[in-house]
Amino acid sequence: MVWWVIARAAFRKNLAYVLAHMANNAGSLLFGLIYMALWHVASREETLGPFHGRELVSYIAASQALLWISTFLPSGLGIDLQVRSGSVALEMARPVPYVPRMVAAGIGEAFYNLVFRSGPLIVAFTVMGVFPWGHVRSEEALGGDIAAVLLALWMGVLMQYLVGIAAFWTMESRWALRLFLGLNMFMSGQLLPLQLMPPRLQESLNWLPFQALVSLPASVWLGVATQDAWISAGIWAVGLYVIAVLITHRATRRLEVQGG
Amino acid sequence: MGILSGLRLYTAMARTTLQSRAIYRANFGLSLVFNSIMVTAELIVTLLLVHRVHGILGWNTAQVMLLFGMATTSGGTYRTFLSELSYFDKYLVNGEFDAVLTRPVPAWLAVAGRSVDPDQIGLVIEGMAIVAVSGTILGIFRLDAWLVIGELLAAVVSGTLIWMAMVTALAALGFWTTRVDTLQPMVLYGPQTAATFPLSVYPTDIRMLFYSIFPVAFGTYLPAMVILRKGPGAVMVLVSLFAAAAALALALRFWRFAVRHYTSTGT
């Protein structure tokens, strides 16, 4: 199947950089340690929202691992580079639809990150005894855990697609990436769980797509996810794909080749 | 080369860089807006966190906000004037460093001269605004305002020197590792994030890193302690300045050592 071949190629392309990525993982680990230390001191082993004792530290450990499959994907899936070099014309002329092809490649990149970026972090946090394994109590719970991770990965890839496609209008999409990262930092619950935000804000953020990137899977792993969060993520998982297809349709009509 | 003649040379090269960037005015505006969104998002999360737990180890929300503003101002200043060294890989991978070496100026200065990035000035402005707002809430300007402003300026200088030292050392490491970007999260972004919180929250071994290998303590935490009258006397501002200058001198020594070991890629 062509999508599988594309995803596998994207996965394999990254294998040449495993060592460099491992050095990069040390930075992620430091970030994790910083935020875990912060929450360890801040929560003072008390109950905050639905989190008890050290669960907030586990939340941060889960969040750090999840960021690599939902947020730290290649900027705009490389679409802005295709626009600038003019190669996007060739890419769009290929006999495979553009949106699913780029999304398949993005999924391949995300699975690489899952194994070689999130993986080492999960191992380190497990050794430190802070990764939330204790909440995987049954096969049903494991199913939910995996589904939430796959949703985060799918939505992360689609959001990067939307970041990249912005280049059709502005030639480059660094601004869109900054906007995405800024909103994501606040709305995904990566540093501050949404459950600890003021109730009205929390309710609003639950219905935005960002919560599916970190908050939903981390909360599912800790057994504190709400049904609303699942429903919202399900709607956005379909909605974002439809938006991507519609925007791409408009974008192709204003395609300008830059000439390389 | 003396410091003054070095500064004159840097200014001349920086002016040329600015002129070449003047054609991207729209990009400048967009960068200002989106950098501002990033900083605001980070600030909101930080303040919500501290507010939610009613302060961290004796630091209230406004005090952490001051720390955040100081870290943002010095981080923005270094990014405005020396960001090129953060992307030093391209010089090594594409062989551009060969061209740098043929210039009749020290290599570090030649790279630094290309560094002026007006897009980052928004960070400095926003950082200063955060310091002003939090300082007013805390009432630190009420007594001896000029002394506090002097201490804040000294803190920004030491913070900027610390970042310059760290980014110089990171770029120098690139002569052996070729890739600089992969180390950035650990050497730059991690310590930068850590510096926005009181360092006393971290376990001793991690905290020691921020006093030694990544000495961000001298750029924000210690000067902030002085400004907030939380213990160390005003002499700590001078100690921080001295430590920051020493860190940069050490980093420049390491840079010169690394340049002597440079071998061209031939591309």
A23 contacts on B by Cβ (under 8 Å): 177, 179, 182-183, 186
Q: Is A34's CB within 8 Å of B44's CB?
A: no
Q: Is A31's CB within 8 Å of B201's CB?
A: no
What pLDDT score was predicted for residue A260? 46
Q: Chain B closest CA to A68's CA: distance in Å?
A: 13
In a domain, A18, yes or no: yes
Taking CA–CA distances from A190, the nearest residue in chain B reads B45
What pLDDT score was predicted for residue B19? 67
Domain that holds residue A210: 2-253
In a domain, B265, yes or no: no
Structure confidence by residue, pLDDT tens digits, B235-249: 899 999 999 999 999
Which H or E run contains A48?
strand A47-48
Residue A64 has pLDDT above 90, yes or no: yes
A34 contacts on B by Cβ (under 8 Å): 190, 193-194, 197, 202, 206
In a domain, A56, yes or no: yes
Q: Which of A185-189, B23-27, B37-41 has the lowest mean pLDDT?
A: B23-27
In a domain, B194, yes or no: yes
In a domain, B267, yes or no: no
Task: Report, as an integer, the average pLDDT of B205-226.
Answer: 92
Q: Is B49's CB within 8 Å of A38's CB?
A: yes
Helix residue ranges, H only, chain A: 2-13, 18-43, 55-70, 79-85, 88-93, 98-113, 119-127, 139-165, 167-170, 174-187, 199-206, 215-221, 227-253
Q: Chain B closest CA to A185's CA: distance in Å?
A: 7
Tell me the percentage of chain A whose pLDDT exceeds 90.
52
In a domain, A242, yes or no: yes
B33 contacts on A by Cβ (under 8 Å): 175
What pLDDT score was predicted for residue B20? 67
Q: Which of A118-127, B209-218, B256-265 has the lowest mean pLDDT?
A: B256-265
Instruction: Tell me the average pLDDT of chain B.
Output: 85
d(CA A142, CA A70): 19
Residue B20's alpha-carbon distances to B102, B109, B113, in angstroms, are 22, 18, 13
What pLDDT score was predicted for residue B233? 79
Task: Report, as an integer, the average pLDDT of B61-85.
Answer: 90
What pLDDT score was predicted for residue A7? 92
Structure confidence by residue, pLDDT tens digits, B87-126: 788 888 777 888 888 877 788 888 877 767 777 788 899 9
In a domain, A86, yes or no: yes
Structure confidence by residue, pLDDT tens digits, A143-180: 888 999 999 999 999 999 999 999 888 877 888 888 89
In a domain, A259, yes or no: no
**CB of A195 less than 8 A from some CB of B:** no
In a domain, A26, yes or no: yes
Domain that holds residue B192: 3-260
A31 contacts on B by Cβ (under 8 Å): 185, 189-190, 193
pLDDT tier at A220, thresholds 50, 70, 90: very high
pLDDT tier at A87, thresholds 50, 70, 90: confident
> Of the candidates A127, A150, A137, A121, which has an alpha carbon nearest to the alpha carbon of residue A63?
A121
Task: Report, as an integer, the average pLDDT of A97-122.
Answer: 94
**CB of A257 less than 8 A from some CB of B:** no
Instruction: Tell me the average pLDDT of chain A.
Output: 89
In a domain, A54, yes or no: yes
What pLDDT score was predicted for residue B2? 67
Q: Is A38's CB within 8 Å of B201's CB?
A: yes
**CB of B24 less than 8 A from some CB of A:** no
Q: How many domains would you assign to chain B?
A: 1
In a domain, A104, yes or no: yes
Residue A20's alpha-carbon distances to A67, A244, A259, B35, in angstroms, are 18, 32, 33, 27
What pLDDT score was predicted for residue A143? 87
What pLDDT score was predicted for residue B129? 94
Q: What is the pTM of this model?
A: 0.85
Residue B182 has pLDDT above 80, yes or no: no
How many alpha carbons lie under 13 Å from residue A133 in its C-beta half-sphere? 10
ipTM: 0.81
Task: Report, as an integer, the average pLDDT of B151-180.
Answer: 90
Q: How many domains would you assign to chain A?
A: 1
Residue A189 has pLDDT above 50, yes or no: yes
